Amino acid sequence: MKEVQIEKKAEENIFLKTLHEVTQPFKDLFKASRAMWGLNLSYLLEGITYFGVLSLLAIYFNNYVGLNDIHADQMVGILTAGITLSMLFLGATVDLIGVRKSFLIALSLMLVGRILLALAPDLSNSKGLWSGIHSIAMFGIFWIILGYGIYQPAAYAGVKQFTNEKTSAMGYAMLYAIMNLGGFLPGIISPPVRQNFGMLAVFWVYVALTVVGIIVVAIVITKKAVKQATLNLSEDKQKEVEEEKEMTFKEKVRYYLKNFPLKDMRFLFFIFVLIPVQTLFAHNWLTLPQYFSRAFTGMVKNNFEFFVNLNPILIFILTPMIAALTSKRNAYKMMIVGTFVMASPTFILAFGPSLYTAFAYLIIMTIGEAMWQPRFLQWVAEIAPKGMTGIYMGIGQFPWFLTKVITSLYAGWFLMKYCPAGVPPSSMNTETMWLIYGFIAIISPIGLFLAKNWMMKGFKTKVEN
């Protein structure tokens, strides 16, 4: 009887310890500074707005500008690729002027761009490629690209500045989860407005949300709130923030040139070795829609949009939970495990299309993504020298730009060869396609594992056990 009681007590202790490990990071985050909460609210509003506009942009160019599908998709590509490139060149802005000013400038630039997009059909009657309306719309996209090139690095730099050792892992995880929630919510907000008032009314709703975002930054992320956020940090981090403030503009430029990230071979290896596994992100819109609609029959074929868009809401749910369970784990090791978990279910699809393989791929891939993607943001921010988080984050996005370009060059060929339109599923060979994609994706965790000693030797990260 006594042994049974001891065993029960041990089980209770294990349960309580597990519960504590899961809930404590959430408790720590809830105690985060006002500036951090303002950052999250701003990021949610901007996520809704960005993904909301993005989901309608090709149709906007079809209906209002009179472009065909090829040219309309190219305009969307200019926006998405342009944002990635602008982060490369404008990420330094955050380090030079600070997070709060960067947010206000970035959102103001995007506000101008979104107003121009909403107004363009009323400002010109001419339609077609490089017509008046097209030129106005592209001018609007130009301002959005500039704004987002500052906004995204500012968000990452803000998390680093407003969190401490206890809250940093959860802070990056929540930022990533909020981005995916922002990608999901337009599906609820947009349809009723569009059906009752038209597409341009939806664009004006997103203009209004941008204004709300500016107000949130102005009244929540105040100078006082930013100062207060630094008081909750460790002495080392407070010292780092103060040293950044004391540097003159010329000193910052000299410091930048001396510590420019392109000189750091470990950093370059780290961001480029992730390209193979990141191709799976690109396949979410380059391959999965056609795969689910062509290679399947019945429920999956008829509801392929559900399967294609399942990832964002799963990420929103799973990322904070996984971050809570792994917040004390070494970030680089989590990158190895996470990329492996994300890449491995690609081989499940090599068994052939079925409801079970589809769900297994989507769920396991999402778990892997939730394990490593927020840690990528954390790792890059932590290894960045003081005052250089923005530029490190900006350059860290460049391989993602290459991934989108490279994957788009071969994804269509693979679909035509292994998953062609107008062919019965039984005559396709999707198994080979996914097997090849699996071998591509698995390169990333293997490369990270083989370089572990070299990478860990060079960096002193604050997320070590």
Q: How many CA atoms lie within 13 A of 126 on its CB side?
A: 9
Flag whether the pTM goes above 0.75: no
Q: Answer yes or no: do 47 and 175 share one domain.
A: yes
On the 0-12 / 13-18 / 19+ scale of CB atoms within 10 A, 386 is: middle
Q: Answer yes or no: do 384 and 326 share one domain.
A: yes
- Residue entry with tokens 């997009």: 117
Q: Answer yes or no: do 369 and 220 share one domain.
A: no
CA distance 166 to 338: 21
pLDDT score for 273: 94
Task: Kindly report the CATH number assigned to the domain that includes residue 388.
Answer: 1.20.1250.20
Q: Are 349 and 54 in contact (CB under 8 A)?
A: no
Summarised one tens digit per residue, pLDDT across range 142-153 is 999 999 999 998
pLDDT score for 261: 73
DSSP symbols for 128-181: STTSHHHHHHHHHHHHHHHHHHHHHHHHHHHHHHH--TTTHHHHHHHHHHHHHH
Q: Answer yes or no: do 91 and 214 share one domain.
A: yes
pLDDT score for 21: 47
Q: Answer yes or no: do 201 and 338 share one domain.
A: no
Whether residue 11 lies inside any domain: the answer is: no
The last residue of one of the domains, among 196, 211, 246, is: 246
pLDDT score for 464: 41
CA distances from 350 to 27, 277, 309 (A): 42, 16, 21
Whether residue 5 lies inside any domain: the answer is: no
pLDDT score for 30: 58
Q: Answer yes or no: do 178 and 294 share one domain.
A: no
pLDDT score for 268: 87
Whether residue 184 lies inside any domain: the answer is: yes
Q: Answer yes or no: do 228 and 263 share one domain.
A: no
Q: In sequence order, which ranges of 185-234 are alpha helices (DSSP H)?
A: 186-197, 199-220, 223-231
The last residue of one of the domains, among 192, 223, 246, is: 246
Whether residue 3 lies inside any domain: the answer is: no
The token pair at 130 is: 């490089």
How many domains does the structure of the chain reveal? 2
pLDDT score for 330: 81
**Of 300, 433, 444, nearest to 369 (Cα)?**
444
Q: Answer yes or no: do 207 and 76 share one domain.
A: yes
Low-confidence residues of the chain, pLDDT below 50?
10-11, 14-15, 17-22, 25, 460-465
Q: Answer yes or no: do 308 and 190 share one domain.
A: no
Domain hosting residue 450, numbered range: 258-465
Whether residue 299 lies inside any domain: the answer is: yes
pLDDT score for 361: 95
Q: Answer yes or no: do 137 and 240 share one domain.
A: yes
Whether residue 201 lies inside any domain: the answer is: yes
| Relative orientation angle of helices 223-231 and 34-63, to the nearest 10 degrees | 130
Whether residue 13 lies inside any domain: the answer is: no
The last residue of one of the domains, among 216, 246, 276, is: 246
Q: Answer yes or no: do 167 and 297 share one domain.
A: no
Q: Answer yes or no: do 158 and 103 share one domain.
A: yes
pLDDT score for 350: 95
Whether residue 192 lies inside any domain: the answer is: yes
